[in-house]
């Protein structure tokens, strides 16, 4: 640990170019995705990404609540992102706050650009994201979980939405920031991508980057998203692939 003023600042990048948890700059944290763990929901997914643990559940298309949000030509997509009181080191005040409202809004908007909402007029597609353990990048983990949960619910979409936060740590562009890097780094840039077209449907930034750094960060994020995309498809394949022996038994 180094020290700046009263704050203890960890060494974010070693002379060998390794980060606080030993990763290289272009390395993701370990990611495990399970499709369909909840039986009551129409679709669900559980994501463990580094120390993040995030559950997503999807209901719908179903009746719209509150009713005045109903749209005659398409489904409304509603998202509720919530961080559990026990998800962070110091107990978080439970309930809605500005941050969770903002994250819910940007996630719903990201899905509006990929879900075929016109196929389900006068209905609602409801996405619930519960962060059980948080360690930076939870909006991206929530997006990944919700995306797999939507697919698990059979909601038609252009594509799955992989997401990752890229950032600037000790002057270098780094993929998938963890908590210390998010707290003490210079920038944090969460993004979500439609893999087939390369279109960004979520892009936010906290901190500062030069235009060259931004371009490098986006390139790194796209590579990260492609690898996350493969894991998302793998989770759905694991859930829906029927072993030949089981298929023969069912026949």
In whole angstroms, how close is the CB of 246 to ligand ADP at the nearest point? 39
> CA angle 194-198-204, nearest 5°?
75
Residue 182 is a binding residue for ligand ADP (CB under 6 A): yes
In whole angstroms, how close is the CB of 99 to ligand ADP at the nearest point? 6
19 vs 92 by CB, closer to ligand ADP:
92
DSSP label at residue 53: E
Residue 179 is a binding residue for ligand ADP (CB under 6 A): yes
Residue 53 is a binding residue for ligand ADP (CB under 6 A): no
Stretch that binds ligand ADP, among 2-10, 54-62, 128-136, 233-241 (CB under 6 A): 128-136
88 vs 157 by CB, closer to ligand ADP:
88
61 vs 137 by CB, closer to ligand ADP:
137
Residue 56 is a binding residue for ligand ADP (CB under 6 A): no
Stretch that binds ligand ADP, among 5-13, 22-30, 85-93, 241-249 (CB under 6 A): 85-93
- Exactly one of 99, 199, 208, 226 binds ligand ADP (CB under 6 A); that residue is 99
Stretch that binds ligand ADP, among 16-24, 73-81, 182-190, 192-200 (CB under 6 A): 182-190
b/e map 120-155, b = 16+ CB within 10 Å: beebbbbbbbbbebbbbbbbbbbbbbbbbbbbbbeb
- The C-alpha atoms of residue 102 and residue 129 are separated, in whole angstroms, by 13
Tell me the site size for ligand ADP, rule CB under 6 A.
Answer: 15
Contact string 129-158 vs ligand ADP (x = CB under 6 A)? -----xxxxxx-------------------
Instruction: Write the secondary structure of 198-244 as one string of H (helix), E (strand) and C (coil).
Output: CEEEEECCEECCCHHHHHHHHHHHHHHHHHHHHHHHHHHHHHHCCCH
Residue 56 sits at φ, ψ, to 5 deg, of -125, 140
Q: Which tokens belong to 147?
A: 């995306």
Q: Which tokens belong to 9?
A: 């600042």
In whole angstroms, how close is the CB of 227 to ligand ADP at the nearest point? 19
- Exactly one of 92, 110, 111, 161 binds ligand ADP (CB under 6 A); that residue is 92
Q: Which residues contact 58 (CB under 8 A, 6 or more apart)?
A: 41, 42, 43, 44, 125, 126, 127, 128, 146, 149, 150, 152, 153, 155
**Helix-then-strand count for the chain, H and E:** 5, 12
In whole angstroms, how close is the CB of 170 to ligand ADP at the nearest point? 18
Q: Which residues contact 145 (CB under 8 A, 6 or more apart)?
A: 33, 45, 46, 47, 54, 55, 56, 129
75 vs 178 by CB, closer to ligand ADP:
178
DSSP bridge partners of 166: 175, 189
Residues in contact with ligand ADP by CB under 6 A are 88, 90, 92, 99, 134-139, 165, 179, 182, 188, 190
């Amino acid at each position: 640990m180094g020290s700046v003023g009263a704050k203890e600042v960890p060494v974010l990048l070693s002379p060998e170019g390794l980060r606080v948890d030993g990763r290289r700059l272009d390395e993701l944290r370990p990611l495990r995705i399970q499709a369909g763990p909840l039986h009551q929901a129409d679709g669900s997914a559980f994501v463990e990404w580094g120390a993040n643990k995030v559950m997503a559940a999807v209901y719908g298309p179903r009746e719209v609540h509150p009713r005045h949000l109903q749209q005659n030509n398409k489904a409304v997509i509603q998202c509720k992102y919530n961080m559990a009181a026990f998800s962070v080191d110091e107990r978080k005040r439970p309930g809605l706050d500005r941050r969770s409202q903002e994250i819910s809004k940007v996630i719903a908007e990201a899905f509006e650009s990929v879900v075929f909402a016109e196929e389900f007029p006068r209905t609602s597609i409801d996405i619930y994201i519960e962060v059980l353990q948080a360690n930076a990048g939870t909006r991206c983990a929530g997006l990944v979980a919700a995306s797999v949960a939507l697919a698990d619910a059979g909601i038609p979409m252009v594509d799955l939405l992989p997401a990752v936060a890229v950032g600037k740590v000790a002057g270098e562009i780094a993929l998938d920031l963890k908590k210390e890097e998010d707290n003490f780094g210079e920038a944090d840039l969460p993004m979500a991508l439609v893999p087939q077209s390369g279109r960004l449907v979520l892009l936010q930034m906290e901190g500062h980057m030069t235009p060259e750094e931004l371009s490098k960060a986006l390139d790194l994020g796209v590579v990260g998203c492609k690898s996350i995309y493969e894991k998302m498809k793998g989770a759905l394949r694991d859930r829906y692939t029927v072993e030949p022996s089981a298929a023969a038994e069912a026949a």
